[in-house]
A and B are shown apart, each in its own frame.
Chain A
């Protein structure tokens, strides 16, 4: 089976599992294809799909880059959250427009993403665990700021950005496509990109001929962090608009992780996976009034990824395969 065949089979498997899941709950298995069709045929819902897909795609593209280099971070969730809050601060509290909020998001995402990179490069701390811990630390930080200095009004919530600051859906999609194509070209056609890819698959060769361990790891950490920062900006200006206190993180960064793997660690592939995921999530949203919990979409996504990697990466067992 080819690699694309494996992806198609994985997605089919995920959808099938979702339909079996719906068999148990109220609306029945045919509700899934029905709501998917409803999403695809409605222009208003498609706009939703695009707004949701943009941050997932950008985060997923950056993660694909890092995974190619064998840097298995899952810190996109926390990076997006903090970057999103940073751009909210610049827009609604400082009143700065133009590139200001974007730059704030990029730098906060990159800095938060750099931490697991530094920990791995200089101390050998495993980045899966450190980036996960940093997600929870980011969540607490946002909750702290929401309940203290950024609090606005009687409820524990921040200011919300105005309607006029919300990004148009085509623009969000354009940014996501540009970012994915840019990162794909970086991987394919530049020396640092080639070094990153080589480090993931043939570390000794990469070390001898192309770069050093530390430089590759830090580059991967910075690039994926900056991408998650951009994703945080797209999340805020696309649909989030402001924050309340949260008990769990929103989960779009985690969807980026799944998109990167379903897209076979290719930025363009992650873009495609993100569009699929956001279509699924929107379809799941339609099913919520019928008693289907929103996490059904995440279940389908996770199973699609599991099916795909099972069919595609036979024999791989390491940290970089």
Chain B
């Protein structure tokens, strides 16, 4: 039988990468931009994380390297979209494909060798940092001058331009920071959840789940953290389902089905009356 304590630990460990990627993306979306390439950024983070871990020996340096790699890759989104005015949806999708492909190139260089893993327990400094990140993002967004401007810019770019704000600088900065976090999230998945071993498809759509969590968390860092914890528990219950004899492939399906159902429920409950706080998901 599966122990409750190990389930809770697994749920918290699952929530960490979802929250890291989700909070970064939530900040970016509040500024009026959406980057659909989170999955590709996490994929490159996972591959670089394992490769860097093997060569550097320290999982924390590996996480840092992954963040930097993903931040650099995000220039494929930042330069076309924010500096040159390309379509952010297509650019995000292209970044997803490019990141996935590049991750296969980098990851296959690991040759299946393991990197020094993280233990993924709640005492892990990364888990604490995730909490601090959520708190910091809340303060930044709701209790700082910059946060007011970020939220205002997400509502009306005309306002921001009239105020003389450097919109591309702030949006670009947030996009790079969000990509850094997504890269760390991908590396955390590989190092803490998969024992430091890389395989193709290791991020398993969690980047897309994180994008969904931004909506479920209603574009607030605290909300995204809460949604990540719930989804993390759901992902952890996979082992519980398997223990009760549910087919493994069906258990794999559960989290995606649940996120889909949650998006539907939220759209039905809130979608008609309350509009998204950031203009980015609003459609005429």
Contacts and interface: CB of A to CB of B under 8 A. Distances in A.
Nearest to B99: A302
A50 interface: no
Interface in A130-146: 130, 132-137, 140-141, 143-144
B256 A136 contact: yes
A129 B87 contact: no
A303 B95 CA distance: 8
Q: Report the interface size class on chain A.
A: 35 or more
A315 interface: yes
B98 A306 contact: yes
Interface residues of B, number: 51
B283 A319 contact: yes
Contacts of B284: 203-204
B253 A302 contact: no
Interface in A36-76: 72, 74
B218 interface: no
B36 interface: yes
Nearest to A317: B88
Classify the secondary structure of A's interface with B.
helix
B87 A141 contact: no
A247 interface: yes
Interface in B224-269: 247-250, 252-253, 256-257, 259-260, 263-264, 267-268
B195 interface: no
A298 to B, nearest CB: 4
The residue among A141, A296, A319 with the most chain B CB atoms within 10 A of its own CB is: A319
Interface string B69-104: 000000010001100111111110111011011101
B94 A134 contact: no
B260 A247 contact: no
Contacts of B249: 140-141, 143-144, 147, 245
Interface of A: 21, 25, 72, 74, 119, 123-126, 128-130, 132-137, 140-141, 143-144, 147-148, 203-204, 245, 247-248, 254, 257-258, 261, 293-299, 301-303, 305-306, 309-310, 313-319, 321
18 contacts: A72-B89, A123-B264, A126-B215, A129-B212, A132-B205, A133-B208, A133-B212, A133-B257, A147-B249, A247-B199, A261-B90, A295-B105, A301-B97, A302-B97, A305-B90, A309-B91, A316-B87, A319-B283
